[in-house]
């Protein structure tokens, strides 16, 4: 376990270094942050003076070294737009995104598992056929369209659900949560459904396909022959064995969900990291961008580590291979 942890930490540091380097390299093509800071009639000389003051005119390696050195001291720079430490801003925005992704993941897990199993067991039933048809459409529907459609249906026409923002939040030790108020939960419904709509069809299809394959195997036939109950065969023997590839994909897709929060959060004015990233690109707030990339890199490493541990719990063979 210790060796595993050390390996992971080294991996995380490497990832962060690479990401920050790439982030630093591409920031020049994103645009000049000074342009967004000043009005259009400010002279070129004044802009240049400001660039000098901010250290933006230093050579690339000097800037990068300064960044890494400060990062080692826990300072990932100051946002050009917010005028505050980038880490502080990201920490402020992170709960919103994490809660959104968590709610979305819950929807995906709770819906895709029963539906996937059902459609695998009863492929000929009407419900299965409809689900498969709808999921094909769902996969090919862009998320912002789903989001706008939901807003107009439930927000404007029916007026059941709020159309933007996070609603009322409660602060628990610096974590602004929307899970504890009715208003916060109502605000969460549409964004999380929109976000789930991207992944849900994929998972239903994945679970269904895996499950169908497992149901054809010899040991399931043997289980039937032994006269085990249907529930036991389906859920314990068949479903558990479909989980391994599903979890692998889930780990990767959760990361991709973070990427999709950019669109979803922008449409819903959800004050999370995705929306923050989108605005930072638009304002060429490069300091915030690089910090965000580094933080997301850490999150990815963490998620993958968790997934690896989960593997071991589900399939002992992996655990054995890991301890060698």
Partner 1 sequence: MKKLLRLFAAALVLTVGLWSTGCDKKEEKKAEFKSAQSGTLKLALDADPKTIDIQEQLSGGMLQFSHWAFDPLVRWSQDMTFEPRLATSWERIDDLTMRFKLRKGVKFHSGNPFTAKDVVFTVKRFRDSADFKGLFEPFEDPIIVDDFTIDFKTKKPYPLMLNMITYVFPLDSKFYSGKDDEGRSKDAVVKVGYSFAKNNVSGTGPFKLVEREHGVKVVMERFADYWDTNSPGNVQKLILTPIKSGATRLASLLSGDVDFIMPAEPQDFSRIKENPNVNLFTYTGGRIITVQMNQKRHEALRNKKVRQAIVYAVNNAGIEEKIMKGTATPAGQMSPKGYQGYKSSLTPRYDLEKAKQLMKEAGYADGFEASMIAPNNRYINDEKIAETFAAMLSKIGIKVNLKTMPKAQYWDEFDRQPADFQMIGWHSDTEDSGNFYEFLSMCPNKETGYGQYNSGNYCNKKVDQMTLAAQTETDSAKRVKMLQDIEQIMYDEAAYVPFHWQNHSYAARKGLNVAAIINTMNFPYIGDLVMK
Q: Does 284 bind partner 1 (CB under 8 A)?
A: yes
Q: Does 83 bind partner 1 (CB under 8 A)?
A: yes
- Per DSSP, 85 falls in state B
Q: Does 37 bind partner 1 (CB under 8 A)?
A: yes
Among 67, 118, 203, 268, binds partner 1 (CB under 8 A): 268
Q: Tell me, residue by residue from 108 to 147, as one string, x for binding to partner 1 by CB under 8 A and - for no binding.
A: ----------------------------------------
Nearer to partner 1, 7 or 282 (CB): 282
Smallest distance from the beta carbon of 70 to partner 1, in angstroms? Answer: 14
# of chain residues touching partner 1 (CB under 8 A): 48
Nearer to partner 1, 55 or 133 (CB): 55
- Per DSSP, 78 falls in state B
Q: Does 162 bind partner 1 (CB under 8 A)?
A: yes
Nearer to partner 1, 16 or 280 (CB): 280
Do 159 and 152 touch, CB atoms closer than 8 A?
no
Smallest distance from the beta carbon of 217 to partner 1, in angstroms? Answer: 28
Nearer to partner 1, 188 or 276 (CB): 276
Do 181 and 236 touch, CB atoms closer than 8 A?
no
Token pair of 43 as six digits? 């002279």
Nearer to partner 1, 127 or 219 (CB): 127
Token pair of 82 as six digits? 């917010």
Nearer to partner 1, 32 or 58 (CB): 32
Q: Does 29 bind partner 1 (CB under 8 A)?
A: yes
Residue for token pair 């967004």: 36
Smallest distance from the beta carbon of 280 to partner 1, in angstroms? Answer: 10
Q: Does 58 bind partner 1 (CB under 8 A)?
A: no
Beta strands per DSSP E along the chain = 170-172, 175-177
Residue for token pair 């998620």: 303
Q: Does 181 bind partner 1 (CB under 8 A)?
A: no
Token pair of 66 as six digits? 């300064």
Nearer to partner 1, 166 or 205 (CB): 166
| CA gap 141, 235 in Å, rounded | 32
Among 26, 38, 236, 306, binds partner 1 (CB under 8 A): 38
Smallest distance from the beta carbon of 256 to partner 1, in angstroms? Answer: 22
Give me the torsion for CA of 297, 300, 306, 312, rounded to 10°. -110
Do 293 and 121 touch, CB atoms closer than 8 A?
no
Q: Does 54 bind partner 1 (CB under 8 A)?
A: yes
Q: Does 227 bind partner 1 (CB under 8 A)?
A: no
| CA gap 171, 165 in Å, rounded | 16
Q: Name the region of 161 (left: φ>0; alpha: ψ -120 to 50; beta: rest).
A: beta
Residues contacting residue 54 through CB under 8 Å, at least 6 positions apart: 33, 34, 80
Q: Does 52 bind partner 1 (CB under 8 A)?
A: no
Among 1, 3, 72, 156, binds partner 1 (CB under 8 A): 156
Q: Please work out, in degrees rounded to the nearest 5, the angle formed at the alpha carbon of residue 99 by the alpha carbons of 93 and 102.
A: 140
Stretch that binds partner 1, among 134-142, 208-216, 228-236, 268-276 (CB under 8 A): 268-276
Tallying the residues shown for the chain, one arrives at 324
Integer-rounded Cα radius of gyration of the chain: 24
Q: Count of CB atoms within 10 A of residue 5's CB?
A: 10
Binding site for partner 1 (CB under 8 A): 29-32, 35-44, 46-47, 49-50, 54, 78, 80-83, 148, 151-152, 155-156, 158-160, 162-165, 266-269, 271, 275-276, 279, 281-284
């Amino acid at each position: 376990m210790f060796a595993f942890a050390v390996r992971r930490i080294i991996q995380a540091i490497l990832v962060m270094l690479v990401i920050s380097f790439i982030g630093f390299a591409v920031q020049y093509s994103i645009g000049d942050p000074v342009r967004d800071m000043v009005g259009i009639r400010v002279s070129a000389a004044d802009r240049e003076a400001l660039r000098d003051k901010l250290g933006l005119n230093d050579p690339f390696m000097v800037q990068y070294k300064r960044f890494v050195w400060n990062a080692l001291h826990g300072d990932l720079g100051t946002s050009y737009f917010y005028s505050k430490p980038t880490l502080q801003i990201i920490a402020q925005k992170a709960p919103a995104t994490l809660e959104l992704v968590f709610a979305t993941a819950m929807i995906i897990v709770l819906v895709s598992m029963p539906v996937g199993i059902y459609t695998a067991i009863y492929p000929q039933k009407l419900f299965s056929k409809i689900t498969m048809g709808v999921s094909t459409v769902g996969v090919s529907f862009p998320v912002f369209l789903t989001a706008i459609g939901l807003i107009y249906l439930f927000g404007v026409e029916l007026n059941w659900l709020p159309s933007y923002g996070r609603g009322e939040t409660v602060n628990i030790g610096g974590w602004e949560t929307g899970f504890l108020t009715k208003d916060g939960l109502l605000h969460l419904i549409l964004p999380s459904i929109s976000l789930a709509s991207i992944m849900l069809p994929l998972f239903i299809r994945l679970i269904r396909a895996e499950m169908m394959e497992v149901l054809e195997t010899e040991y399931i036939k043997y289980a039937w022959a032994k006269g085990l109950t249907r529930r036991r065969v389906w859920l314990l023997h068949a479903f558990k064995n479909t989980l391994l590839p599903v979890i692998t994909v889930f780990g990767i897709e959760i990361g991709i969900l973070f990427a999709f929060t950019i669109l979803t959060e922008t449409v819903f004015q959800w004050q999370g990291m995705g929306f923050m990233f989108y605005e930072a690109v638009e304002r060429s707030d490069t300091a915030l961008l690089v910090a965000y990339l580094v933080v997301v890199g850490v999150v990815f490493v963490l998620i993958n580590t968790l997934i690896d541990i989960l593997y071991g719990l589900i399939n002992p063979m992996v655990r054995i291979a890991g301890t060698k």
